[in-house]
Structure 1
Amino acid sequence: MSLKGIYKNAIVPFAIYWLLPAVLIAGVYYVTIGKFPILLMFTVLAYGLLEEIGWRGFLQEQLKSLPKFTSIVIIAVLWFAWHLNLETTPSNMIFLGIIFFGTWGIGKVYSSTGSLLAVAGVHSLNNFFRNGLHETELTLIAILLVIWIGFIILYNRKYKTSVNPA
């Protein structure tokens, strides 16, 4: 795992997974609030990168010999505890479910791209919306997920055909 992963250089994952969501989210913030959240953008992206160095770059790599479901459960429980959600309240159990599916999804991005920038960008998407999810936030998430998943699929197809021409 590296910043660039399977991409030829780090500019591609930086543009797709960091710059694109930053511009899109900052633009929506500007239209709705009237100012650019530059400090928020930087801290959310940097924090996501630092967390993903540990969660995917280290822990997922260390657990890869285990069955996938087992490693997802271990990472999800540790990630849940990391956020200091130790009580079994209904909202914390919903958060645990989100963490579980986030662990699975970000793990898929990790195994597909090998890029710390990609997994950090996907991780940061959740951190951008710390004031809750509303229609605008859900729309932004859906748009970015469609773009990212489509990009991963298309890039992997192109990469596999260029490496193994028919």
Structure 2
Amino acid sequence: MIPFLLYWALPIILILGTEYAIKGTLSFEAITAILIYGLLEEIGWRGFLQQQLKPLPELLNVLIVAVLWFIWHLNFDFTSSNLLFLGILILGSWGIGKVANNTHSLLAVAAFHSLNNFFLEMNTLKIILLISLLSIWIIALVIRKNQQNAQKVILS
């Protein structure tokens, strides 16, 4: 229940609040589509492909996932903006992969993925929202990691 509240309910509430503050309307369909689309994509990228490539060195795993993700987005022209996007996908594949490995939660992975889908156009309010969500999620990941380490020490 905690991953659902932390990675889905909280972003929906904050994103809807931001949309209302910016546009004066609530576009629940768009937010839901972003979160559901992110989840469906991550079932394939992190839930399946990254796991299948686990035997490979981490860098090769990340590069393969990033290049396939780049092609998935139909970026065939090697323009400077597309090459920048490929770089972002490489960093994203590494970062989201770390979230997947540390949380074992596709909801967490989908939430991080969805941030990219929602924050294509930035403004001050969205930057505050982005920093707030990332801070909350990183704190939650650190707390989870500390709890896992404490349990390992107790079991030792």
Which band: TM-score by shorter chain? over 0.9
Percent identity between matched residues is 48
Query: 2 CA distance for matches of 1:151 and 1:164?
Result: 20
Query: Would you say 1:148 and 2:131 are equivalent positions?
Result: no
The answer to which structure, 1 or 2, has the higher relative contact order (CA under 8 A, 6+ apart) is 1
- What stretches of structure 1 of length at least 5 have no aligned partner? 1-10
- What stretches of structure 2 of length at least 5 have no aligned partner? none
Note the 1:52-67 alignment, pairs <5 A: 52-67=42-57
CA contact (8 A) 2:18 2:126 kept: no
1:113 is aligned to 103
1:8 is aligned to none
144-153 or 78-87: bigger deviation? 144-153
Query: 2 CA distance for matches of 1:163 and 1:30?
Result: 45
The alignment of Structure 1 onto Structure 2 pairs a total of residues equal to 155
1:80 is aligned to 70
Query: Would you say 1:68 and 2:62 are equivalent positions?
Result: no
Query: Would you say 1:161 and 2:150 are equivalent positions?
Result: yes
Corresponding residue SS for 1:66: coil
TM (norm. structure 1) is: 0.88
Query: 2 CA distance for matches of 1:136 and 1:81?
Result: 32
Note the 1:14-33 alignment, pairs <5 A: 14-33=4-23
Higher helix share: 2
TM (norm. structure 2) is: 0.94
